[in-house]
Amino acid sequence: MLVPTLLVLLFCLRGHAGLSPHFLQQPDDLVALLGDEARLPCALGEYWGLVQWTKDGLALGGERDLPGWSRYWISGNAASGQHDLYIRPVELEDQASYECQATQAGLRSRPAQLLVLVPPEAPQVLGGPFVSLVAGVPANLTCRSRGDARPTPELLWFRDGIRLDGTTFHQTLLKEGTTGSVESILSLTPSSHDDGATLVCRARSQALPSGKDTAITLSLQYPPVVTLSAEPQTVLEGEKVTFLCQATAQPPVTGYRWAKGGSPVLGARGPMLEVVADSSFLTEPVSCEVSNAVGSANRSTALDVQFGPILQARPEPMSVDVGEDASFSCAWRGNPLPRVTWTRSGDAQVLSSGPTLRLPSVGPEDAGDYVCRAEPGLSGLGGGAAEARLTVNAPPIVTALHSAPAFLRGPARLQCLVFASPAPDAVVWSWDGGFLAAGSQGRFLVETFPAPEGRQEQGPALISVLHISGTQESDFSRGFNCSARNRLGEGGTQVSLGRRDLLPTVRIAAGVAAAAMTLLMVIIGVTLCCWRHGKASASFSKQKNLVRIPGSRDGSSSRGPEEETGSGEDRGPIVHVDHSDLVLDEEGALETKDPTNGYYKVRGVSVSLSLGEGPGGGLFLPPPSPLGPPGTPTFYDFNPHLGMVPPCRLYRARAGYLTTPHPRAFTSYSKPTSTGPPDLAPRTPPFPYAAFPIPSHPRLQTHV
């Protein structure tokens, strides 16, 4: 009966459950930061009894202020059933499992786990806040977080807000269940661009999702960072160029070194270099090396130098057999690239453009010089031409050269010109009944020698000469053959000997002899004429035209007048004078007249006489004048001669040629010593001439 009664009571109690104590709110798990405030809610309905909180099963007490737990208290409206547990500030020891219990009602809330989080401290970067690194050298940056951060913090690296990769994480456990030092290592190879960069190490965890940052600044020591420029970059050959070498370095720059094409530029030390550009700068760049305590760096640049064509490879001479192909090549360098053309020497026609000339299946007519030509560049400098000779190997080509005609039984010379490549084995002269290649044979002699340069336009050439001594009739009628042979064949030609007659020479000699005889007869006739003319002059003139001959006889002479006049064979010298030069003064004395009118201060004139001899050997003089009393000086009349054209002065026996070209141009004449000179007055010179009795002067010749 007891069991059924209890069941009835239990049923009744369940029927009135809405009025029994119950939890309106139970605590939930809670995460609290160290030092913050933690609140665990608890609300009961229909219960006004004792409410208490337990921590890991340990009752904290029934009073609201929880004595003994200074940081704990229960808060809320007890009448309304609010019994919240507050903890402030939260400490690590507060991390536990908490329950709200209605002791009198026998109610217990579900356990609520309080998790206390410890925010990480600001990390520490070893070597910060300024970390010195060397550019190009790998380095490790260490970020370390110390303390009892819960949970274990995560260390991250950032640069300019961007997370960096390449880090390693390292954690050290101090003891079981606790976390000690946490490190993060960033490995990097810095460059000069990293100088002054800011890196951030951030420690973050659940307790501090935003994390805490520590920033460092990189101080880079790096070799120079070089920038090399040229002004102007494009130049004409011969213009000036300035190179500027700029560098940034830590520590500062200690030196500069310049080079061109790998060879140092002597004397260049600073950051600037001035040069005169030439074609070599196009292929030999200029470099600048800058150094500091950490290292050195080098930069180079090449100029765009524009220059005219420069010959790099000349075309080579070629020798090919007839029918084969031939080719020439030449190389020119220039900027911009030059235009190369091929022509034949002496011909403006362009055969090909480019560095190569190809001649298919050449013949003898293709032999000669070929020209590779490059046009000048934009600067107008450079350019030019280069030649190469093409020799076409073919059978010899023999040509007869002009040979002079020969006299019968005289020497003769026949010639032929031989073009041959390769050189002929021999050049042979042949004729009826004989042949000769070299040396002599009887009347024949052969000489062969290289042709002059002017005759080698078609290739190597020889001249062969056949000498004939003592030509015969048969030599002028027969044909002489000049032939040559080489490995490619044979060639030849016929040479004839021309004859030269003696008749024209005889005619010329006869004409010369006739002309000589005619000239001789003319000379003899003129001589006779002059002789007769001198003998016929014997008249007197007026006294003013008389000239006294110092060597003649006067009245005191022992000879009488008959002797003074003498015969035609014993007269004095014939004197030809121009009476305009002789005047008489007031006393009748004869004086000289200055023919220069005082220009040369002439006081007297020497009169040169042209003298001759008569057939009997005597001197010719005009007849003596009968004027004047006896004893006066003898005078001779020259008047008939003064107005006459002077006779020819031809050669006279024992007197020589008369040299006076005009009656007013006198020259002194000395007659050679002869047998039987005339009897002259004392102190008279032993020369038959007429002179005035005045002091003599140096003779002055003038052209009047």
Please state the domain extents for the chain. Answer: 22-117, 124-220, 225-306, 308-392, 402-496
Q: What is the CATH number of domain 22-117?
A: 2.60.40.10
**Is the fold of 124-220 the same as that of 308-392?**
yes
Total residues belonging to the chain? 704
DSSP 388: E
Characterize the bridge pairing of strands 130-134 and 208-231: parallel
pLDDT for the residue 587: 40
Q: For residue 116, with 0-12 CB atoms within 10 Å meaning exposed, 13-18 middle and 19 or more buried, which class applies?
A: buried
CA–CA separation, 427 vs 396, rounded Å?
10
Q: If 0-12 CB within 10 Å is exposed, 13-18 middle and 19+ buried, where does residue 663 land?
A: middle
How confident is the model at residue 171, as a pLDDT? 64
Residues β-bridged to residue 311? 332
Task: Say if residues 437 and 427 touch (Cβ distance below 8 Å).
Answer: yes
| Cα-based angle 362, 364, 369 (whole degrees, multiple of 5) | 80
pTM over 0.75: no
Residue with tokens 């507050």: 86
Which of 204, 295, 288, 187 lies closest to 246, judged by CA? 288
The predicted pLDDT at position 680 comes to 43
Interatomic CA distance for residues 403 and 496, integer angstroms? 8
**What DSSP state is assigned to residue 270?**
S
Structure letter (DSSP) for residue 273? E
Please state whether beta strands 182-188 and 97-102 pair in parallel, antiparallel, or not at all (unpaired).
unpaired
Rounded Cα gap, residues 630 and 556, in angstroms = 8
| All residues at 6 or more sequence positions from 165 whose CB lies less than 8 Å from its CB, including other chains | none
CB 647 within 8 A of CB 533: yes
C-alpha atoms less than 13 angstroms from C-alpha of 107 in its C-beta half-sphere: 21
d(CA 292, CA 401): 84
Euclidean distance between CA atoms 397 and 8, whole angstroms: 156
Superfamily name with CATH number, domain 402-496: Immunoglobulins (2.60.40.10)
For residues 223 and 292, the answer to whether their CB atoms sit within 8 Å is yes
Class of CATH domain 225-306: mainly beta
| Three-state secondary-structure class, residue 275 | strand
DSSP secondary structure code for residue 624 in this structure? B
Round to the nearest angstrom and report the end-to-end CA distance of the chain: 206
Q: For residue 116, give the H/E element and its range.
A: strand 112-117
- Alpha carbon separation from 112 to 58, 71, 165, 177, 637 (Å, rounded): 14, 18, 40, 22, 189
Query: Scanning the structure block, which residue is given the tokens 């044909």?
Result: 479
Compute the half-sphere exposure of residue 381: CA atoms within 13 Å on the CB side of its CA: 15
Contact partners, residue 334, CB within 8 Å, separation at least 6: 279, 307, 308, 309, 310, 374, 377, 382
CATH classification for the domain delimited by 124-220, as one of 3.40.50.800, 3.20.10.10, 2.60.40.10, 3.30.70.60: 2.60.40.10
Q: Is 703 exposed, middle or buried (0-12, 13-18, 19+ CB in 10 A)?
A: exposed
Count the neighbouring beta carbons within 10 Å of the beta carbon of residue 678. 18
CATH class, 308-392 region: mainly beta
| Cα 681 to Cα 556: distance, rounded to the nearest angstrom | 11
Residue 340: exposure state from Cβ atoms within 10 A (0-12, 13-18, ≥19)? buried
Q: Quickly count: other Cβ atoms within 10 Å of residue 372's Cβ.
A: 27
Written as six digits, the tokens of 494 are 């016929």
Pick the closest to residue 228 from 280, 290, 170, 181 (CA basis). 290
Give average pLDDT by consecutive 10-residue segment, the chain, 704 residues. Answer: 41 52 92 92 91 92 89 90 93 92 90 92 90 89 83 89 78 54 86 88 89 92 90 90 92 93 90 91 92 91 88 92 93 88 92 93 90 79 86 89 90 91 89 87 91 68 91 88 91 91 68 88 88 59 42 40 38 41 41 46 40 41 47 47 45 40 41 43 43 42 38
For residue 222, what are the contacts with CB-CB under 8 A and spacing of at least 6?
134, 135, 136, 190, 191, 192, 195, 249, 250, 294, 295
